[in-house]
Structures are given as C-alpha cells and as structure tokens.
C-alpha cells in the first residue's frame, strides 16, 4: 500500500536547509521533509523564466530525481518542499542553487 504524501508545509519539523547536487540529468538532495512533495526550479542561463518540476522525497527526506532528457543547456537548479521562509523566494525555504551544464545529445 503506498504511503501518503504530506501536503502540509507548516508541519512541525527539525530539519535545516535542504541541500542538492546535480550531475547529468540526476538531481539528488537531503534535508527535505520525508514523503513530501518537492518542486525543482530550473532556470536557463540568460532567461527570466523558471520551469518547475514536481517530485516526492523518500521516507528519510532524500530526493533522487531524474530530469527529463529534453532539459539541456546551462541551468540553475534549486528545490523546495514548501516550508515557509519569509526571506525566501515566493516565501518558501529553498535549497542551495547549483549550476548544471547539460549538453544536447
């Protein structure tokens, strides 16, 4: 039976700021809320438009996500599990941003 995914960003937690890393089309991270929806924000270099992809963390708050093969170029990537942060973009707590360069295949 699948576990339920939490949609309550204000749920009590003892987690700090999440961190991510990326290589190729793989984005991994830790410090997210367990079994929780996460949005990955992708910004192409030189553009003011962000794309968002939805993923779910595992039971320990780890993120393991494969970006679509159509995602190429120089990208800035960050992720949020929608915890509130009055100083964060859109009022959310975001992970570190990392730069990823993905060549077209």
pLDDT value for 46? 87
pLDDT digits (tens, 9 = 90+) for 76-103: 999 999 999 999 888 999 999 999 998 8
- What global pTM score does this model have? 0.81
* Of the options 1.10.287, 2.60.40, 1.10.8, 2.20.28, the CATH number for the domain spanning 19-102: 2.60.40
CB atoms near residue 31 (< 10 Å): 19
Alpha helices in the chain (DSSP H): none
DSSP label of 90: G
Query: Is 11 a residue whose pLDDT tops 50?
Result: no
Tokens 């996460």 belong to 38
Stretch 8-17: mean pLDDT = 58
pLDDT value for 104? 80
Tokens linked to 74: 């120089």
């Amino acid at each position: 039976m699948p576990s339920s995914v939490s949609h309550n960003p204000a749920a009590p937690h003892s987690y700090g700021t999440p961190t991510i890393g990326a290589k190729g089309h793989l984005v991994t991270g830790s410090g997210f809320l367990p079994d929780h929806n996460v949005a990955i924000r992708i910004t192409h270099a030189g553009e003011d438009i962000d794309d968002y992809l939805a993923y779910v963390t595992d039971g320990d708050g780890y993120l393991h996500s494969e970006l679509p093969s159509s995602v190429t170029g120089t990208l800035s990537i960050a992720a949020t599990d929608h915890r509130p942060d009055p100083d964060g973009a859109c009022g959310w707590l975001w992970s570190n941003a990392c730069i990823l360069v993905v060549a077209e295949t």
